[in-house]
């Protein structure tokens, strides 16, 4: 055995430990291996992603799926509880991304420093009988706190907001960023992908197709009647009976409630939400990479309607949202649905704005 082998072993152990159990912030300068400079051997080239709320019901499967994404080189997992265990567990996966855990408010800023994409599933889940508005008082404060840290530590990052009610939490984040002087409407996106995923699945069931071959634009917002599937624009082109339109629209709008009731108090739509969030995050990363024609639906600052925020198709690129597409031709049913959606959306958006401005 070479004389230096023991030292090399210790260095390797320190390097691995730095990933799994980040040193206390006050001890950073005395750590044998600086975590910020610590990279796994063979670590993949790619983007740095932070998941805020990584130990929660959505956060854990979301973090696992992001660890599997080849576009992610460094994955920061932050939560106020249980992050060390989640980080240790996910770090054992033999994929390229280096996983680093951050626990508690004192490590939030470090978790965000230098990241390219921030995903926010933090907050409490829906329970039976609970509306998305019932979540507001708790989740609004969480999103405000996280947004303040984002504005300070990674103002140029793309931010994906999952925390409900999205119709209000995205305006909250926007107001925080405006106060900090960092608001870029191209980089703040509310994740409505689960509505699209559900729409694709439910429409495919009716048509007898593979959901992967179906694309349903879903516009408006991310709650109840604000969720407006444009069934007249489904690809591949098809037609539905009035009964099918009513059935599909109602099921897409109430998909979250369907899962909450089926879980009977044991949770909300965590797994499908994590899948949809990762699908959207991957689109954002492909846009950042420079891929052409990356188009998804998202809740963004918009002039598609008279409302300041609206979900519609957007093209993603190196700066975030590079183009917002118009709604296209709507049939009479969809035009009526749009008016209902806008009325509900207006109050939800204002609720978020008022929360920060009060």
Least confident of 5-9, 24-28, 201-205: 24-28
For helices 332-357 and 136-153, what crossing angle results, to 10°?
Answer: 70
321 and 262, same structural domain?
A: yes
Asked, for residue 9, whether it belongs to a domain, the answer is no
Closest by CA to 63, choosing from 102, 35, 37, is 102
Element (H, E) at 315: strand 309-317
Say what the pTM is: 0.88
Please indicate whether residue 32 or residue 305 has the higher confidence score (pLDDT): 305
| H helix or E strand, kind and range, residue 143 | helix 136-153
Together in a domain, 336 and 216 = yes
Output the known binding site: 53-59, 79, 126, 132, 139, 162-164, 198, 273
Q: Which of 153, 175, 191 is the last residue of a domain?
A: 191
DSSP 156: T
Give CA–CA dist 135/162, Å, rounded. 13
Residue 76 annotated to the active site: no
- Residues belonging to the binding site for NAD(+) are 53-59, 79, 139, 162-164, 273
Share of the chain above pLDDT 70, in %: 86
Question: What residues pair up with 49 in beta bridges, in sequence order?
Answer: 75, 117
The partner residues of 315 in beta bridges, in order of sequence, read 295, 323
As a whole number, the mean pLDDT across the chain is 90
Catalytic residue among 19, 26, 76, 222: 222
Whether residue 3 lies inside any domain: the answer is no
Binding-site residues for substrate, in ranges, read 126, 132, 164, 198
Output the domain CATH number for residue 245. 3.90.110.10
Q: What is the span of the domain harbouring residue 92?
A: 44-191
Partnered with residue 117 across adjacent β-strands are 49, 158
Q: Which pLDDT band, with edges at 50, 70 and 90, does 36 fall under? A: very low
Position 280 in a domain: yes
Structural domain count, the chain: 2
Q: What is the pLDDT of residues 196-243, one digit of tens each?
A: 999 999 999 999 999 999 999 999 999 999 999 999 999 999 999 999
Domain boundary (161, 191, 221) is at: 191
Residues 244 and 274 in one domain: yes
């Amino acid at each position: 055995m070479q004389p230096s082998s023991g030292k090399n072993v210790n260095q390797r152990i320190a390097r691995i430990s730095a990933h799994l159990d980040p040193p206390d912030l006050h001890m950073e300068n005395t750590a044998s291996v600086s975590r910020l400079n610590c990279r796994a051997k063979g670590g993949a080239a790619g983007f740095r992603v932070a998941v805020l709320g990584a130990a929660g019901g959505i956060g854990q499967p979301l973090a696992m799926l992001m660890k599997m994404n080849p576009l992610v080189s460094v994955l920061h997992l932050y939560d106020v509880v249980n992050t060390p265990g989640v980080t240790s567990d996910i770090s054992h996966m033999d994929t390229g991304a280096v996983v680093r855990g951050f626990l508690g408010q004192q490590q939030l800023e470090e978790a965000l420093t230098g990241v390219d994409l921030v995903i926010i599933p933090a907050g409490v889940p829906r329970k039976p009988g609970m509306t998305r508005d019932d979540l507001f008082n708790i989740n609004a404060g969480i999103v405000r706190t996280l947004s303040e840290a984002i504005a300070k530590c990674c103002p140029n990052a793309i931010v994906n907001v999952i925390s409900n009610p999205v119709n209000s939490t995205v305006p909250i984040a926007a107001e925080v960023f405006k106060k900090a002087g960092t608001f870029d409407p191209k980089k703040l996106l509310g994740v409505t992908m689960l509505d699209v995923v559900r729409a694709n699945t439910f429409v495919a069931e009716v048509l007898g197709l593979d959901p992967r071959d179906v694309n349903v634009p879903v516009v408006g917002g991310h709650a109840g009647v604000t969720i407006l599937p444009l069934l007249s624009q489904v690809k591949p082109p098809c037609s539905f009976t009035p009964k099918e339109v009513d059935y599909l629209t109602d099921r897409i709008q109430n998909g979250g409630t369907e899962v909450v009731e089926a879980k009977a108090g044991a949770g909300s739509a965590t797994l499908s939400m994590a899948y949809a969030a990762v699908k959207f995050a991957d689109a954002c990363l492909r846009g950042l990479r420079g891929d052409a024609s990356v188009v998804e639906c998202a809740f963004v600052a918009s002039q598609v309607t008279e409302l300041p925020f609206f979900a519609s198709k957007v093209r993603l690129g190196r700066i975030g949202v590079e183009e917002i597409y118009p709604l296209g031709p709507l049939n009479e049913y969809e035009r009526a649905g749009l008016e209902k959606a806008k009325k509900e959306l207006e109050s939800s958006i204002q609720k978020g704005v008022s929360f920060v401005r009060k």
